[in-house]
Chain A
C-alpha cells in the first residue's frame, strides 16, 4: 500500500460546489485556476517574486502572491472534495473460530475493571481497597477452569498485560485463545505470544509430519523452539528424532536451548542422546546434558557419579558412635569434567569441597541407604559428619533431593517444622528450604508450613508460603492469621509483614472473610505499641477482608450464579 493515502482525484472529479464555495473567486483568472498543482507548489516554494505563477495577472508582486493563494485554495478544496477511496490491500485471514462460551456479563465487567487498574499503573498507599492487579492471575485461572472465551474487545488489554508480566502469559494466552493468537500475529509488540505457545494455532499439528519437518528445517529459531516444545509434549521420541537429525549443524546457543527443551518429559529414552551431548563442543551444552542425565537415576552418568561420590563419603570406622567420614576428591580428572563437573570453583570456595558438592549432587540418592547399612534418609541425615564437612554434604543432598524430586530425602533434610531453621538438619537457607518443600506432596507442604509458622512466626515464612497450594487449607490459613494477630498484639507495624499480608490476600480461602471481620476493628493501643500501629493494622485487615470478599464475588461471577 502506498503511503499517500488517497489518490488525488482528477480536477474533473471535483463537485462544482466546492469551487463555488471559495468566496475569493473574484481575482482568480481561469488560466491560474487551471495551472497544475505541482507548479503552484514550485512557485510557492521559490517565492512568487522569483518565480511568478504562469497566468497570474499583472497586478504587481503582492497581486501575484494573492493570486497564487487564491488558486491554491481552489486546488486544495477541489482536491479534498474530490478524494476517492484507495485500492484495498488484501485483508488478513479471518480469525479462527473459538467455540468456547462467552463470559457471564458480571465477570466481563470485572475483567474490564481488573485490566483498567493494571493500565493505570500502581503506586501510592494501599488503603483498605483490594489491589486489583494482583487478582488478575486468580481471575484468569478460574476463567480458564470454566473454559470461557475472552471478550474480543478485551484481547488487546490482555495481550498488553501479558507482555508486561511474564507470569501472566500462560494463563492469558490460554484465555485469549485462537483469536488472541491471531491478533498477536498482527502486532509485532505481541510477538511473545507466538513463542512457546505449545499447541499454538500457528504451528502445524504435531501429527502433520511433513509440515513439522519443513518448519523444523526452514523456520526461525523461535518457531523451531516452539515447534520442538509442541512435538515433545505430544511425542517425546519424535522430538528427539527431529533434534538428532539436524544436531550437527545447529549453532551452540541454539543447541543449548534445544537440549534444555528435553527437560519436559525427560525419560530414560533420552539417555543415549544426552550421553552423546556430553562430548559437545560447547561447555554449556555439556553441563546441561550432564544435569539432565543426573536427574535420571538409572543413567550411566548417574552410576559413574555415584561411584565417585561413594568413594568420597563413607560410614566412619573409628569409635563407637556411627558417623559420616568424608574424603573430598583430590583432583578433577578428565572423566569428571566430561560428566559435567566444573573444575574451577567460584572465588572464595575451596576446590575440593566444590568438586565434592557436585559429585554428591549428581549421584542418585538411592545409593546412600546401602552405603550406610540400610539406614533411611532421616537416619543418614541425622548422623554426625566428621571434620566439618556436614554443611557441604547436606547442602549437596538438598540439591540432589530437589533435582531428583525425592520426597523422602526432602522431608528428612527439612526436619520437623518446629526445629529452628538454623539448627535444622539440611539447610538454613530459606530459598533452598522452599525448593525442598516444593518436592513434598501439596497437602504435606501446607501442613509443614502451618506448623513452622505456629512455631516461629511469620518473619521467615514468606518464601515458604509461596510454594503452598492455593487457596491455603484451613490449618495453614488460620496459622497465618493467628501469627498476624500475634504480631499486631506485639505492637509491630503491619508493613513489616506486607509480603505475607499480600500473599494472604491472594491465597487465603475466601470463606475465611467472616472470621476475620473481628480483626478489622481498632482496639485500644497497648502502652508499648508503636504509635498508630493499630490503625494501620485494622486498615490492613480491612483490605484483607475486602479482598477476600472480592475474590468470592469474582468466583461466583465466573460460575455464573450471582451470590446472594
Chain B
C-alpha cells in the first residue's frame, strides 16, 4: 500500500510542475586547459530529487560542485556561464560564498564526519552560523537534525562518543544530519551511497525520499536503480554534455536520447 501511495505521490509531484529553485545557463568548467563541462543548461525544481547520472568522468560531480561553488577550492578550475539560486547569480562577486554554502549544503561520497563527538558534528554548523542563542536551542537543533536524519534513536545515548566510531551507514546519516542542521534550502549529494552496503543504502534512500518534503535535493549516482527509486527528475550527462533531462519515469521507460538508452540498458558505462 505504502509503495503505491508513494508512487502516486511521486507521479503527482512531477505533474504539478514545481517552481524552479536553481537555474543553470550554459555552465562550463575548465580544469586548466581541459574542458570538463561544455555548457550545461539545467533547471532544478524545488522540493524534488534531481538525479544526475552518466558514465564516470562525464562531469556530473563537477556540475554538482558548481552548485555550491566547491570548485572554488580547486585552483585550476574556472567556471563559466550562469547559475542562479532563487534568481540570484551565485557567482556574483557580491555573493558571500560562505552564506551560499549554508544555503546549499553538501553530502560527500565517502562519509566524512569530523573526528569529534556526534553532538559536535551536528552542532558545528549551527554554531558558526549563529543559529542558536543558547545551549537549549542548540540541543534542540542537534536533536531535530538527528531525528530528521533518522539517526536519533540509534545514537541518543551516546552523543558524546566520536562520530568516527559509527558504522558507515550511520556516519553517512550523521553527515546528512550535519548538512540539514544549518537549515539549507538545497542539499547536494555526491554518490552518498557508494561506500555503503545495500541495507544502509536502503535506509539512506528512504531518508532522501523523506527529506524531499523540506529540501531541494540534487543527487549524483552511479546506480540506475537508485536514480529510479529516489528521483523525480533525472539528468543524463555524457562527456561533459547534458544528454537529456526529464521526469525519471520517462527517462527510464522511454528516453529520447540514444546515449541515455544505451547507458540505462548497460550498453556502456
A in complex with B: no
**Chain A: residues with CB nearer than 8 A to chain B?**
none
**Chain B: residues with CB nearer than 8 A to chain A?**
none
